Amino acid sequence: MRKDLKLSLFKSMLRIRMVEEKLASLYSEQEMRCPMHLCIGQEAIAVGVSHALTKEDKVFSNHRAHGHYLAKGGDLLAMIAELYGRDIGCCGGRGGSMHMIDQSVGFMGSTPIVGGTVPLAVGSAWASKLMNDSLVTIVYFGDGCFEEGVLHESMNFAALHHLPVLFVCENNDFSVYTKLELRQPKRPIYKIAEAHSIRSQKADGNDIELVYKISSDAVAEIRNGSGPQFLEFSAYRWREHCGPDFDDHLNYRTHEEVEVGKKACPVARYQEQLLKNGDLTDQMINEISEKIEVEINQVLEKAKAARLPTLQDAMSHQYA
Amino acid sequence: MREISYIEAIREALDQSMVKDNRVILIGEGVPDPKNIFDSTNGLQEKFGTHRVFDMPLSENGMTGVCIGAAIRGLRPVLVHQRVDFALLSLDQIINNAAKWHYMFNGKASVPMVIRMVIGRGWGQGPQHSQSYQAMFAQVPGLKVLMPATAHDAKGMLIAAIKDNNPVIFIEHRWVHHIIDHVPEDFYEIELGIARIIKKGSDISIAAFSYMVLEVLIAAKALEKFLGISIEVIDMRTARPLDTETVATSVRKTKYLIVADTAYAFGSIASELIASVVHECFDVLKKAPIKICSPDFPTPSSPGMTKDYYPTPKTIIKAVITLLDVNIDDEKLEKLMASVESKNLHDIPNRDFKGPF
């Protein structure tokens, strides 16, 4: 793998991590007044998949969308301003954390109804096929979404019409506090997708280069007319389902399990790997981090300084 | 002017819209099958090809989402459900996505799509094949809900719906499908959200939705003939936007209001219309308006039970007599009622009114 690509993967993951850590640290100020689902610990999937895409390729996402949005190139100021409910937010303050959009980079929208955007992504791929534009559409969802009927309806149609869509399942083993084993029988998720005659694979979602490689191959094949594909990546959600904190005190998962999850940190793991093979130095890490820190602080300042919209603003765009 | 049926008008609107705009695609369970959605999609796949006219898996919710996704990307899907009851499976996608996408993303995207839903009554359709949920859809901001009663309006409103940049619910009553009307051959639009005074009158205003317009017209004709009552009949045409102004203007003239709807009475669009008009015209109304709807329990299947379940022209006549305190002797009333007695069985489409309007 080229060095610039490796560094780009690393920087993109670190940036998402640092943005979310900053959001978590500021959340208790009660100025970001919306539910927020952090993807800390799950960055490699969004970054690996996004690096396999062109800017024009389309992405749909779910409630835990910050990583997907930023990795695809979504505007940071529009995102943070949205969390602060400001008029320059990506939805003008109408959506909050669970509604990210930046169509200029192909990020078509994220919404929090589980499974809600999966058929939209298939519809986008259908449009691509009918308009013959050779774009690939990606949709991210979790293991919980796999229990929604609409996912299977969507896979059925995608397979039937041979649509250019990549289904990306981030399996973090939890739906809120409920473990996978309490929700699904013991069988591999990706095998069910395969039964829809969709080419499917499962891989370690903390191995950024692996995620990138598998996604690149899948996206290239889809672009060449392979029809839909399905990737299941393992992941671990470090923090609470919704909110900035850790929730170990709730005891729905063991301390040991959380420790194992955190040890698999995709950012630390890749940093170590790059340091070891000489692609990265401590000085470079410092420079990269500092640059990101400056960017985040500047963006935060701008976002907070922006106008808080009023009910008057809320009345526009009721109909197109 | 040329006369064609409502269903032919729908087909023509689809055909002409697809000719005019190659972004329009048509999909639904049975669209290209031998029955062609009550003959409303005949020959369209042959004409426009399998890349524009599609049959559909039995995935109402998923396919609604697929159409929304295609609409966001620039296509203009028309999705068809043979029964409104099937569309209930897609409420998540309709309400959470289609209706909100434009608003929640601050106008950055829109969902130009039409969802045809067929409502109906009769022939043992029973509890899950004969519902009317215009009020439920009309309650959702972001949706437009159309209920054309005439073939002329069906064509013009379907064309307008397809050209509209919003999700539009297009509700057709099966019992108007065969009714003929004067329908221009041109590609024309009818502005959405404007009711139409279908018969002028001075003694009482009756606003009706969809098929109920026909029943009201039958009743109005008989009341005029037997009692000289002049009824202003308003075809509401849309449930959202709801044209309360046209009704209020009529009521300011007549001072009386009846609203006839195809749905259950409770929480109906008739209730909403009455509430709005009462608010506007409280001081001119001589009596409380009357609402004519289906009873507030599910539709049974047996003809024994449906015989008196649905409102008929007789129900409307009774309401007018009550509201206007008409003095009428029993013999005359019997004759009046007999004049609107359907010659058909009660559970097949009313052929007493064939059109045109």
Do residue A150 and residue B61 have CB atoms under 8 angstroms apart?
A: yes
* Confidence band, pLDDT 50/70/90 cuts, at residue A105: very high
pLDDT averaged over 10-residue windows placed end to end, chain B, 357 residues: 96 98 97 94 97 97 98 98 95 98 98 96 87 96 98 98 98 95 98 98 98 96 97 98 98 98 97 98 98 95 92 97 96 96 84 78
User: Average pLDDT, stretch A185-205?
Assistant: 96
- Put simply, the chain B residues between 98 and 157 with a CB less than 8 A from any chain A CB are 101-112, 141-142, 144
pTM of the predicted model over 0.95: yes
Chain A contact for B70, CB < 8 A?
A: yes
- Put simply, the chain A residues between 137 and 166 with a CB less than 8 A from any chain B CB are 149-150, 152-154, 156-157, 160
Main-chain phi, psi angles of A106, to 5 degrees: 85, 5
**Closest by Cβ to A123, choosing from B66, B92, B166:** B66
**Closest by Cβ to B108, choosing from A101, A121, A149:** A101
| Same fold flag, B3-182 and B196-340 | yes
CA distance A264 to chain B (A): 35
Do residue A317 and residue B61 have CB atoms under 8 angstroms apart?
A: no
- Residue A248 pLDDT: 83
Mutate to test the interface with B, among A86, A130, A151, A315 (most CBs of B within 10 A): A130
The model's pLDDT over A120-169, given as tens digits with 9 standing for 90+, comes to 999 999 999 999 999 999 999 999 999 999 999 999 999 999 999 999 99
- Residue B344 pLDDT: 82
| 3-class SS of residue B81 | strand
- Residue B346 pLDDT: 85
How many Å from the N-terminal Cα to the C-terminal Cα in chain B? 12
- Residue B347 pLDDT: 84
Percent of chain A with pLDDT over 90: 97
Nearest CA in chain A to B168: A319
Task: Give A-chain residues touching B144 at CB under 8 angstroms.
Answer: 319
What is the architecture of the domain spanning B3-182? 3-Layer(aba) Sandwich (3.40)
The Cα–Cα gap between B149 and B168 comes to 16
Which pair of tokens denotes residue B142?
């972001």
Average pLDDT, chain A: 96
The Cα–Cα gap between A101 and A5 comes to 25
Q: Do the Cβ atoms of B97 and B61 come closer than 8 Å?
A: no
User: How many residue pairs bridge chain A and chain B with CB atoms within 8 Å of each other?
Assistant: 140
Which pair of tokens denotes residue B258?
């009846």
CB under 8 Å, gap of 24 or more: what pairs does B127-131 form?
A: B127/B298, B127/B299, B127/B300, B127/B301, B128/B85, B129/B83, B129/B85, B130/B85, B130/B299, B131/B84, B131/B85, B131/B263, B131/B299
CA distance A281 to chain B (A): 42
Q: Give the list of residues 6+ apart from residue B256 with CB closer than 8 angstroms, or none.
A: B203, B204, B205, B285, B286, B287, B289, B323, B324
The Cα–Cα gap between A163 and A129 comes to 7
- Residue A167 pLDDT: 98
CATH superfamily for domain A3-311:
Thiamin diphosphate (ThDP)-binding fold, Pyr/PP domains (3.40.50.970)
Do residue B59 and residue A157 have CB atoms under 8 angstroms apart?
A: yes
Categorise residue B37: left if φ over 0, alpha if ψ from -120 to 50, beta otherwise. left
Mutate to test the interface with B, among A105, A307, A319 (most CBs of B within 10 A): A319
Task: Give A-chain residues touching B105 at CB under 8 angstroms.
Answer: 90-91, 94-95, 99, 101, 109
What are the residue numbers of the active site of B? 60, 129
Which pair of tokens denotes residue B4?
């064609």
- With the CA atoms of B96, B23, A137 and B50 taken in that order, what torsion angle do they form, in degrees rounded to the nearest 10? 110
Domain chopping of chain B, boundaries? 3-182, 196-340
Residue A98 has pLDDT above 90, yes or no: yes
Mutate to test the interface with A, among B105, B115, B168 (most CBs of A within 10 A): B105
> Which string of DSSP letters, residue by residue, matches B207-236?
EE-TTHHHHHHHHHHHHHHHH---EEEEE-
How do beta strands B76-81 and B3-5 pair?
Answer: unpaired
Side chain identity, residue B326: V
Chain B contact for A314, CB < 8 A?
A: no
The Cα–Cα gap between B72 and B113 comes to 9
- Residue B351 pLDDT: 76
Nearest CA in chain B to A104: B108
Task: Give B-chain residues touching A91 at CB under 8 angstroms.
Answer: 104-106, 108
CATH topology of domain B196-340: Rossmann fold (3.40.50)
How is residue B177 annotated by DSSP?
T
User: Average pLDDT, stretch A54-58?
Assistant: 98
How do beta strands B257-264 and B204-208 pair?
Answer: parallel
Q: Do the Cβ atoms of B171 and B147 come closer than 8 Å?
A: yes
